[in-house]
Amino acid sequence: MNAEKKEQIMNAAVELFAVKGFEGTSVRELASKAGVNLAMINYYFGSKEKLFENIVECKAVNTREELEEIAKDKELDEIGKIDKMVDNYVRRLFCNRYFHRVIHHELMLNQREELQNIIVTKLFPNSNIIKGVLEDGIKKGVFKKVDIELTIASLVGTVNQVLLSKKFCNKMMSKPENYVPYDDEKFIKRVSDHIKSLMRSHILK
Amino acid sequence: MNAEKKEQIMNAAVELFAVKGFEGTSVRELASKAGVNLAMINYYFGSKEKLFENIVECKAVNTREELEEIAKDKELDEIGKIDKMVDNYVRRLFCNRYFHRVIHHELMLNQREELQNIIVTKLFPNSNIIKGVLEDGIKKGVFKKVDIELTIASLVGTVNQVLLSKKFCNKMMSKPENYVPYDDEKFIKRVSDHIKSLMRSHILK
DNA sequence: AAAACTTAATTAAACGTTTGTTTGAATTAA
DNA sequence: TTAATTCAAACAAACGTTTAATTAAGTTTT
């Protein structure tokens, strides 16, 4: 197995799936972008759908560990943990925005049951860690008794909102149409700062 | 032109596009669901893509007027306006969740430039009205000097987050897999209340 | 009011492409 | 020599769209 060529195909696929969707991407276009022969995709992955599953399995970097480390850090208080998790989460999503789009795209559709289950079981533990920190803070009396689940939805949803539509994002931010906000370090900080401030005022007593 | 049959086709299309995506829906499946002959779709709309454009033009109910009425209401103070707008927005999106999914889906993809422009020009004025209220509140000194654009992103993003993936939503809310939260009046109120509380603590001095 | 005519709506069948996938020969690597 | 890789070509199936024939509805003429 040529691991390098497999990588090439997967990278091309992530970008195409993100921009055109799974159904909107043909294997010919995909092969062309990856610079490999059409038949190589089925040779390596078995089918277009198996390629998709392979991508989700591979590219879902183990983010749980990073978050768990923050959750266990005894040098941080509850709000400090939330701050650090937000920074971590925003940065990671901005970096892997193509992959994240693919995931989000797939979650929206009710196709490919199998794939949905893989995604949910990979994503769920992450939000569970944040949930734990919120619960701790409430128990200790440093956080208000907020709606924990929806607080997480606000956190995740805010990032998604700016991440998922460049056009709408630029219009809202009064940036030119061709501006790419996702590589702009200042913009990442702006989003991070906003969410942290939003969370602080919402949960801090 | 048989307006009733046109409606049938559009309604079937919205639901299918929402669940399977535009590319993932075949005109045969669509015709079958709408209970019309395959050729009727091109007879009435010209093409599958024109049908899509037609849906966006037709179904985008003029929500601007409702929001503008709230914005102009002299009986309400700034935070009262925000409260009412949130209620209005959440309820409307939950009611038209299929259509909203289609819009969101299309905004994510960078296909069909024409269609994207239609959508953005229809959606943009809405967020601009909310923006106006936030600016007024800040000018009057009753609101904190928050990041206005990202505050709107949080508002919209929170609703989207619970609206766009039933599976993830149910998992997060510890509901059974087959539960449909979007018709549950209690759930709508819960989301509304959360966002209002989030906004109040974030923007109120 | 009936018949003749005209236009609109509906249909099954077929159109040419494109789709994902497979094949079997050619090439490369071990 | 053997096995793994690469490739052009072909596969059947599904795609969006069009066609030409038929039915229904509406209008005009007798």
**In chain A, which segments carry CATH 1.10.357.10?**
52-203
Of the residues A191, A196, A198, A204, the best mutation for testing chain B's interface (the one with the most B CB atoms within 10 Å of its CB) is A198
Beta-ladder partners of B143: B204
Q: Which residue of A has its CA nearest to B162?
A: A153
> First and final CA of chain A: distance in angstroms?
56
Q: CA A37, CA A14: separation in Å to the nearest integer?
A: 18
Q: Environment class of residue B117 by beta-carbon count within 10 Å: exposed (0-12), middle (13-18) or buried (19+)?
A: exposed
Taking contacts as CB-CB distances below 8 angstroms, the residues of chain B near A164 are: 104, 107-108
* SS3 call for A26: coil
The number of residues in chain B equals 205
- The per-residue pLDDT for B131 is 96
As given in the structure block, the two tokens for residue A58 are 């591979």
For the stretch B122-130, contacts whose Cβ atoms lie closer than 8 Å and that sit 24 or more positions apart, written own/partner, are B122/B56, B122/B60, B123/A168, B124/A168, B124/A171, B124/A172, B125/B64, B126/B63, B126/B64, B126/B67, B127/A172, B127/B152, B127/B156, B129/B64, B129/B67, B129/B68, B129/B71, B129/B85, B130/B67, B130/B82, B130/B85, B130/B155
Say yes or no for a CB contact (<8 Å) between A154 and B202: no
Q: Which residue of A has its CA nearest to B100?
A: A108
Chain C positions within 7 A of any protein Cβ atom are: 8-14, 18-24
Average pLDDT over residues B156-169: 90
Say yes or no for a CB contact (<8 Å) between A111 and B24: yes
The percent of residues in chain A predicted with pLDDT above 90, rounded, is 75
Q: Which residues, at least 6 apart from A131, have a Cβ–Cβ distance to it below 8 Å? A: A148, A149, A152
Q: Which of B127, B172, B133, B176 lies closest to B154, judged by CA? A: B127
- Residue appearing with tokens 């906003």: A194
The number of residues in chain A equals 205
Distance from residue A46's CA to nucleotide D6's C1', rounded to whole Å: 16
**In chain B, which segments carry CATH 1.10.10.60?**
1-46
Distance from residue B1's CA to nucleotide C3's C1', rounded to whole Å: 27
Say yes or no for a CB contact (<8 Å) between A120 and B168: yes
3-state helix, strand, coil in chain A (%, to 5): 80, 0, 20
For A82-100, write each residue's pLDDT tens digit.
999 999 999 999 999 999 9
Name the minimum distance, in Å, from the CA of A100 to any CA of chain B: 12
The mean-pLDDT minimum among A66-80, A92-106, B49-63, B152-166 falls in: B49-63
Name the minimum distance, in Å, from the CA of A6 to any CA of chain B: 25
Q: Which residue of B has its CA nearest to A193?
A: B147
Q: Which residues of chain A carry a pLDDT beneath 70?
A: 1
Beta-ladder partners of A204: A143
Please say whether the beta carbons of B50 and B19 come within 8 A. no
Question: One-letter amino acid identity for B55?
Answer: I
Q: CA B153, CA A163: separation in Å to the nearest integer?
A: 10
Distance from residue B24's CA to nucleotide D16's C1', rounded to whole Å: 13
* A1-46 is a CATH 2.60.120.380 domain: no
Q: Which of B37, B40, B60, B36 lies closest to B48, judged by CA? A: B40
Q: Which residues, at least 6 apart from A34, have a Cβ–Cβ distance to it below 8 Å? A: A8, A9, A11, A12, A13
CATH superfamily of domain region B52-203? Tetracycline Repressor, domain 2 (1.10.357.10)
Taking contacts as CB-CB distances below 8 angstroms, the residues of chain A near B159 are: 157
- The per-residue pLDDT for A183 is 86
As given in the structure block, the two tokens for residue A54 are 């392979």
Which of B149, B167, B195 lies closest to A173 in CB terms?
Answer: B149
Of the residues B22, B108, B188, the best mutation for testing chain A's interface (the one with the most A CB atoms within 10 Å of its CB) is B108
Which of A105, A111, A171 lies closest to B108 in CB terms?
Answer: A105
CA A35, chain centre distance (Å):
27
The percent of residues in chain B predicted with pLDDT above 90, rounded, is 75
- Higher-pLDDT residue of A198 and B165 is A198
Q: CA A151, CA B190: separation in Å to the nearest integer?
A: 12
The mean-pLDDT minimum among A28-32, A117-121, B84-88, B138-142 falls in: A117-121
The mean-pLDDT minimum among A35-39, B16-20, B125-129, B199-203 falls in: B125-129
